[in-house]
Amino acid sequence: MNDITKLDNRLSIEKSAPGRRALKFKGRIKHGAAPVPETLRRKTAPRLPELSEFDAVRHFTRLSKINFSVDSHFYPLGSCTMKYNPRVNEDIAALDGFAGLHPLASDETAQGTLECLYDLQNRLCELCGMDAITLQPAAGAHSEFTGLLVARAYFARKGQKDRVEIIVPDSAHGTNPATASMLGFSPVNINSGPDGRVDLEVLKRHLGAKTAVVMLTVPNTLGIFESNIETITKMAHEAGALVYMDGANFNALIGLVKPGELGVDIMHLNMHKTFSTPHGGGGPGAGAIAVKKYLDSYLPVPVIKKEGGRFLADFNRPLTVGRVKAFFGNTGVLLKAYAYMLMHSSRELGEIAENAIINANYAKALLKDCFPAHSKEHCMHECVLTPGPEMTKQGIKTLDIAKRLLDYGFHAPTVYFPLIVHEAIMIEPTETETRETIDEFASAMKKISAEAASDPQKVKDAPHTMPVKRLDEVQAARQPNLRW
C-alpha cells in the first residue's frame, strides 16, 4: 500500500470544473417528441460533480486506497465473518445470462436463474435441517423481520394474537430487539447466566401465554454454543412459543450441526457471511429464512418451485405474509452463494466450521496472558477478550487498542460488543486466515500490551499512521454536516 498518510481529502465536487465531462449520451434514437411541459420540468440542474473520466477514476481509486479491506488487511471483526470471497463468484454473478435478466422476465426465459435458486433452496434446507426456505430477504436484519412476520402470521392463524412478547437474551445481536419492536412485539430482555448462556430459571420465569418467540443467537455473541438448546426449545414449545435462531454466526456450525435438529422452528442465514459474498463496505448482503414445515405456507412470495421439470416463481400462497421487497431477493448475491455451495461437499463445508473454530481458539490461546478471555471455555468461531489489568491500570481502553492496531496494519476486532462484556474485544479470524496471519496479529496485540507499560500515551494517541487521527464524533452528531 502507498503512503496513506498523504491524504487528498477533497470531495469530487471540489475537483469539479464547469463543462468538464466524462460520459456522454448522444441518444441512439433522435425523436422530435414534444418537450416536457414547463410545469413538469426540472428547473435547476442538480449539483453533481463535473469531472473527466480520468478525474473520476483517479478520485475513486485514491479513495479506495485509504480504506482497509479483507483483500488488503486482516479483518478480525467478530460476528461479521470477514472471510475471503472467491473471485470466481464475481465472474459468475456477472455473466450476461444472469446479470442481464430482468426481474419480470417470464419464467420460461428465466429457467437458468430459477434452477440455481431452486437448487440453492434445497441445499440450504438440507444443510440447516429445515423443511422450507425463502431467499427473498435482502439482508440479515431483513430476514429477522421476515421470520417474525411468519411467526406472527402463524399465531394469528391459530387465534393467538395475544402472544406479543419476544424473549431476547442480552447476548443477542442488536437487530433482534429492534426487529421485535419494529413489528409491534414487546421485546423482553433476559440476562445471561454466569456461563454466558441462557439461564434456564430466568427463561422459565418469562415464558408464558404471552410469549410468541424465543430469539436465540447460536452460537451467541460471546462465541458460546447454547448447550442447553434442546431444553430451551422444549420449554418454549411447551409454553406454546416458537424458537427463532439468529444464524448470523452460522459459519461456526456449517456442516457440523443441523440447526433443525436442535428444535428451532425458524432460522435465518446471512448469505453474505457464511456463503462468501464480499461485504462491499456494508452491503449488499442477502438473507434467507428456513422454517419447519408447519410454517411453510406463511413464507413471503414468490417461492421458487419445480413442476413437471420446469421451474417457476410461485405467487399462489394464500397464507403468505406477502412481499418483503420488490421482485425476487438479492439474486446476484444468491448466485455467488450457490457457486460457493457447488464448490463444497458436505464434508468440506464441515471443514469450514472446524477451521473457523480452531483459528478463534488459537487466537485466544496466543493472547491469554495479555488479553484474558471473558469465558474460560473453548469458544466457537469467535472469542471475546478484554484488556489485561496492566493496560487498564494505565487507563488504556479497548478503543485505544483498536486504534493502535490500525498502525500495525490490522483492522480492529469488533469492540464494545457484546454490550454485556465491559471493554469487549471480539475476534473472529474465520477459516480462510492462515496460522501465520494470526501469529502476526497476536504479536501486534502483545506489542500494544507492552507499549501500555512503556509508553501508554502512544497507545492513547493512536492511530499515528492513518490519513486522519481520531475523529470528533461528538461534533459530527451535534452539528451534522451530511452533504455538500
Partner 1 sequence: MFIGNTKKDREEMLKIIGVNSFSDLVKQVPEKFLYPKFKLPADGMDEMQAAAAMRTLASKNKMLKSFVGAGAYARYIPAALKALLSRGEFLTAYTPYQAEASQGILQTIYEYQSSMAALYEMDYGNASMYDGASAFAEAVRAAVRITGRKKVLYSYGVNPQYIATLKTYFGGGEDYKFIQIPHKDGCLDLAGLEGLLDQETACVAAQSPNFFGLAEDFGKVSELAKAQGALFVAAADPVSLGLFRTPGAQGADFAVGEGQGLGLPLSYGGPYLGIFTCKKEYVRQMPGRISGLTKDKDGKRGFVLTLQAREQHIRRDKAASNICSNEALCALGATIYLALLGPEGLKELAQANYDAAHAAAERLCAIKGISLKFKGTFFNEFTLALPCDARKLRSRLIEKENIDPGLPLKDFYPELGDTLLVCATETTTEEDVSRLEKAVRESI
Q: What is the spatial distance between Cα 397 and Cα 48, in angstroms, rounded to a whole number? A: 42
Q: 61 or 454: whose CB is closer to partner 1? A: 61
Q: Is 132 in the site for partner 1 (CB under 8 A)?
A: no
Q: Is residue 159 part of the contact set for partner 1 (CB under 8 A)?
A: no
Q: Name which of 310 and 393 has its Cβ closer to partner 1.
A: 310
Half-sphere exposure of 30 (CA within 13 A, CB side): 1
- Identify the residue among 120, 241, 257, 424 touching partner 1 (CB under 8 A): 257
Rule CB under 8 A: is residue 362 a binding residue for partner 1? Answer: yes
Of 148, 220, 210, 214, nearest in space to 179 by CA: 148
Residue in the block written with cell 403468505: 320
Interface with partner 1 by CB under 8 A: which range of 93-101, 237-245, 288-296, 451-459?
93-101
**Does residue 178 interact with partner 1 by CB under 8 A?**
yes
Question: Which residues are registered as beta bridge partners of 192?
Answer: 198
For 385, the grid coordinates are 477478550
C-beta atoms surrounding 182 within 10 Å: 14
Residue 192: DSSP 8-state: B
5 is a site residue for partner 1 (CB under 8 A): no
By the 8 A CB rule, do 391 and 401 touch? yes
**Total binding residues toward partner 1, as defined by CB under 8 A:** 205
By the rule CB under 8 A, 376 interacts with partner 1: no
Q: How far is the CB of 405 from partner 1 (least distance, A)?
A: 9
* Closest CA relative to residue 367, chosen from 158, 132, 108, 76: 76
Q: How far apart are CA 34 and CA 27, in angstroms?
A: 16
Considering only 2, 3, 48, 293, the residue that binds partner 1 (CB under 8 A) is 48
* Interacting positions 437-466 with partner 1 (CB under 8 A): 437, 461, 463, 466
How many Cβ atoms sit within 10 Å of the Cβ of residue 435?
11
User: Under DSSP, is residue 334 helix (H, G, I), strand (E, B) or coil?
Assistant: helix
Is residue 6 close enough to count as binding partner 1 by CB under 8 A?
no
Under the criterion CB under 8 A, does residue 293 sit at the interface with partner 1?
Answer: no
Q: What is the largest CA-CA distance in the chain?
A: 78
Nearer to partner 1, 329 or 387 (CB): 329
Of 3, 104, 194, 316, the residue at the interface with partner 1 (CB under 8 A) is 104
Q: In the complex, what is the shortest distance from the CB of residue 144 to partner 1, in angstroms, rounded to a whole number? A: 7
* Nearer to partner 1 among residue 95 and residue 453 (C-beta): 95
Torsion angle of C-alpha atoms 26, 28, 29, 30, degrees rounded to 10:
30
The total of other beta-carbon atoms located within 10 Å of residue 265's CB is: 25
144 touches partner 1 by CB under 8 A? yes
Chain-centroid distance, C-alpha 484: 30
| Nearer residue to partner 1 within complex by CB, 453 or 468 | 468
- Does 396 interact with partner 1 (rule: CB under 8 A)? no
d(CA 22, CA 84) in angstroms, rounded, equals 34
Does 26 help bind partner 1 (rule: CB under 8 A)?
yes
Stretch that binds partner 1, among 200-208, 236-244, 384-392, 427-435 (CB under 8 A): 427-435
Per CB under 8 A, contacts with partner 1 among 215-254 are 224-225, 227, 230
